[in-house]
Amino acid sequence: GTGKILRLQDEEYRLLKAIFSPQATVKTVMQAFSEEAPDKVEAFLRNTAQMNLLRMPPLETLCCDYHEDICQQIDHNLAQLILEVTQRCNFRCKYCIYNSSYEGNHDFSAANMSWDTAKQAIDYLFAHSAERKNIYLTFYGGEPLLQFDLIKQATLYGGLSICERIGTSPSIGTIAEGVDKDKTIHTYIDDYLAQTKPLCENCWAFNICPMCYAACFDKGGVNIKKKSFACQNCRTHTYLMLGTFCTLMEERPDALEVLDRSVLL
C-alpha cells in the first residue's frame, strides 16, 4: 500500500481491472493487451516500475518484542486458540464471504469440525501455554452456534468456563473462573444503568436501541464518552433502517409480507 492515487486513461483502467480479475493471470492479460494496445502496456509497465506500484517489499525480519526468543514463545506461551467449528451458516448476509453471491466467495462447504479435531487442538493449546496466566478459546464459523453441542463439549473437556467479551470491552470473567453473575450485575449492569439513564430516558430510539452495556466499558468502568459516541452511531443506523422500512411500506408493502409468516425462535 503506497497510498498513491492515480489518474488513469480508459485503457490503463481496463488493464488494471483485468489484472485483478480472479480468473486472469498477469501473463495472459499482458498478451491480450499487447496485441490491442502495445504502447499502453509498455508505458504501464514502465510507470509501475518507476513508482513502485503493485509490489510488496520483501519481508526481512519479524518485528516483535520477543522475536529473539520466538521458539520459546511458540512452545510455551500460546495465548489463543480459534476453532472454526463449522462452515455452515443459517444467515444470508450479502456482505459476508460465506454468502454465495459475495464476489470474493471461494465456495465454502457445509463441513463441520469433528470432536476429534477439536480435542486435538485443545490438547495442543494446553501443551503450549504453560507460561500463560490467561488463555483464550474462541469459536468461529460459519455460524458457530450451529455447532453448539461441540462448543459445549469442548468447554467441558478443557475444564473451562464461559466468559464474556464483546467488541473491545474488557473481558468479564475468564475461561478458568467463568463469569461472576452477581459481580456482573452489580459492577457492570447496575453502574451502566445509573450513569446512562440521563442519556437514554429521553432518546427517541430507546425502545429499539441495540446498544449493549459491554460496548461501553473500559478498564476504568463505564466510559460515558464511549457510550455517547456509540449512541450516535446507533441512532444513525436505526434512523436509516426505519427510513428504509417506511419506504417499503409505502412503495412495496408486498416485500414485507414475509414478516407476517416469520417466527422468532
Q: What is the pLDDT along the chain (265 residues), one digit of tens a residue?
A: 456 667 777 777 777 777 777 677 767 777 777 666 667 777 777 777 777 776 666 666 666 665 667 778 888 888 888 999 998 887 777 667 666 666 655 566 788 999 999 999 999 988 998 888 778 888 888 888 889 889 888 888 877 655 555 444 445 555 455 556 676 666 666 777 777 777 777 888 777 776 766 667 666 677 777 777 777 777 887 888 788 778 878 887 887 777 676 654 4
Neighbours of 83 (CB within 10 A): 21
The residue ranges of every structural domain in the chain are 1-60, 67-157, 181-260
Q: What are the grid coordinates assigned to 180, written together?
A: 461472576
Determine the pLDDT at residue 12. 75
- Grid cell 492479460 is found at 29
Q: State how far the Cα of 150 lies from the Cα of 139, in Å rounded to an integer.
A: 10
Residue 19: per-residue pLDDT: 74
pLDDT of residue 113: 95
AA identity, residue 198:
P
Cα 98 versus chain centre, distance: 12
User: What is the rounded end-to-end Cα distance, in angstroms, of the chain?
Assistant: 45
Give the per-residue pLDDT at 232: 79
Q: Determine the pLDDT at residue 84.
A: 92
Q: How far apart are CA 157 and CA 160, in angstroms?
A: 8
Cα separation, 26 vs 51, in Å, equals 18
> What pLDDT is recorded for position 112?
94
112 three-state secondary structure = strand
